[in-house]
Structure 1
């Protein structure tokens, strides 16, 4: 496959991944409105994903999966707690109290926090353009939360969204730390397993309103069986999104694939408008655009830009993308 066709297929995979991830917020919020708590909705999503990915990882990686997990278990444990359980739960909590579009914009300030961590905690020098990107993103964030009106957004939802951004930043930093030591498919399967166990403590499965799976769940002016929303969130919004996301990373470069992933914010806001009737104000839309520009500039400034030109099978691995949604 020549370079042009490889990049074209990578772009296609990236767009599919971003759109698929963007559907999780609206459908997850519908479950929460019907009676699930944000933690219960997150546990259900991660549990379903684990049931799909763990057998695939064992089938395709075999004993190598076990050796990789034993060798890097502390980081994989942290990855499962923050990158999987923390990020998804806080995003769902934010989406339950804020418009989905605002919640996903708050989470996508994660790259800004990565830059701040590298500069303040690690003491690493970062390009001036990274600092400019951070400043741009902060201006946009001020517009999203409408600071001139005294923070009109729900405070707990706002804090949860920023917490999701911190977990997303941790996700990127942990992946960078692990490097190529752990196969991405194994890493995601292991992280999901950890996430299921951690969330089971806070949201015991026996307390989940399972009866909602067989009843109609309303989203906007429509309704659908609860099980159909869960199946969609697991198979489309998570499994398919991860698999196509990693295919995009392998066919493009990480920064380019990361830039394509920002389509997720547009996808989430659009699906929330269609499914839930949620609309963002003009200032929030403008602020969202500014946030994305700033986060993109910051991310591009600190990420390597070396595209991979060899095709990689779709199931080669998952995990190098936004942790969100």
Structure 2
């Protein structure tokens, strides 16, 4: 049975919206470091900044948690997993890795997450993974190696590498858990409720790790310097909470529902490129020629992955490049966002 033109148009429109949301999420996440760095340089501990980020976002999303309290009974494991992996795990492992290995190396290992997502989808969930998605991951990781200039720090600490790999695994959990129920239509768990409870769980875990009662709260009452410009610390904190956390998680989870975990994971690699560009513009940290070239390669990898991956529900076989069998119809899934 042939696919109707209206269904194809609807599918392409949904993918376009999903790609746009994924890009917004990457830009929002990418701006977190630029806003957090002046706070850290002013005297806040990195883990305290992470706790403020998660705790502030949890307070913002608290009304949605109350509204979707039925998720506590229907999806307790999903909420706990999202909080432990997607919120607390990524942040705690990444910042712990930074204390032992160079920033660029830690960032590169963390963004092996998209490759791990492909492995999870293919070998655990036994779902199709196209050659284009795999090629996109290879290009994105190679480009990231240039963006973070991985060769600038080669003194690796084994425990630091393990912690960075833990951040990558937690990032994989973020994409996999965001995709849970994506094919269930109206029965899918509401993404806003999942994010709200995930932030609450993550903030609770980070409270134990970060010990905020030892934080120097006076830093937030003064201005901090961003490339020589005085900026109120509370303004940067609001940016980290509202844009780099709430907006980033909401658009990121919904984009995974509209695209797929593997495609959204590749597009998320743009976060490192955005972070480098914003650091160049706002913090005066110059980009080298290899970094610019690496950013272009990451963009190419993301474009190949999102433009050539079949829609959800496609019957295209794994790594196949041929046309679909005419006797099979492509179902169109309505996203419950």
Question: What TM-score bracket applies, with the shorter chain setting the length?
Answer: 0.7 to 0.9
Query: In 1, distance between residues paired with 2:129 and 2:310?
Result: 11
Shift, 1:129, TM fit: 4.1
Does the CA contact (< 8 Å) of 1:18 and 1:267 recur in 2?
yes
Give the TM-score, by structure 1 length.
Answer: 0.73
Query: Cα distance 1:151–1:137, how it changes in 2: closer, same or farther (>3 A)?
Result: farther
Query: In 1, distance between residues paired with 2:195 and 2:147?
Result: 31
Deviations 1:162-197 (A, max 9, x none): 543322111112233454542111100111011011
Report what 1:221 is aligned to.
228
Q: Secondary structure at the match of 1:79?
A: helix
Rg larger for: 2
Report what 1:34 is aligned to.
42
Does the CA contact (< 8 Å) of 1:25 and 1:92 recur in 2?
no
Report what 1:66 is aligned to.
69
Shift, 1:43, TM fit: 0.7
Report what 1:55 is aligned to.
63
Deviations 1:183-225 (A, max 9, x none): 1111001110110111111111211211100122222222222
Does the CA contact (< 8 Å) of 1:25 and 1:95 recur in 2?
no
Query: Cα distance 1:30–1:83, how it changes in 2: closer, same or farther (>3 A)?
Result: same
Q: Secondary structure at the match of 2:29?
A: helix
Correspondent of 2:83 among 58, 80, 88: 80
Correspondent of 2:290 among 283, 288, 304: 283
Q: Secondary structure at the match of 1:66?
A: coil
Residue-pair matches, total:
305
Query: Cα distance 1:132–1:37, how it changes in 2: closer, same or farther (>3 A)?
Result: same
Query: Cα distance 1:245–1:227, how it changes in 2: closer, same or farther (>3 A)?
Result: same
Give the TM-score, by structure 2 length.
Answer: 0.71
Query: In 2, distance between residues paired with 1:155 and 1:308?
Result: 46
Is 1:182 the counterpart of 2:189 in the alignment?
yes
RMSD: 4.1
Does the CA contact (< 8 Å) of 2:96 and 2:163 recur in 1?
yes
Is 1:45 the counterpart of 2:53 in the alignment?
yes
Gap regions ≥5 residues in structure 1:
318-325
Report what 1:166 is aligned to.
169
Query: In 1, distance between residues paired with 2:153 and 2:271?
Result: 28
Query: Cα distance 1:8–1:36, how it changes in 2: closer, same or farther (>3 A)?
Result: same
Query: Cα distance 1:266–1:148, how it changes in 2: closer, same or farther (>3 A)?
Result: closer
Does the CA contact (< 8 Å) of 1:110 and 1:166 recur in 2?
yes
Aligned pairs for 1:69-218 (under 5 A) are 69-91=72-94, 107-119=110-122, 126-144=129-147, 151=154, 162-179=165-182, 180=184, 181-218=188-225
Gap regions ≥5 residues in structure 2:
1-8, 314-330
Q: Tell which deviates more after alignment, 278-287 or 158-167.
A: 158-167
Does the CA contact (< 8 Å) of 2:116 and 2:172 recur in 1?
yes
Does the CA contact (< 8 Å) of 2:42 and 2:224 recur in 1?
yes
Report what 1:321 is aligned to.
none
Query: In 2, distance between residues paired with 1:11 and 1:130?
Result: 14
Shift, 1:18, TM fit: 3.6
Does the CA contact (< 8 Å) of 2:72 and 2:79 recur in 1?
yes
Does the CA contact (< 8 Å) of 2:108 and 2:150 recur in 1?
no
Q: Secondary structure at the match of 1:46?
A: helix
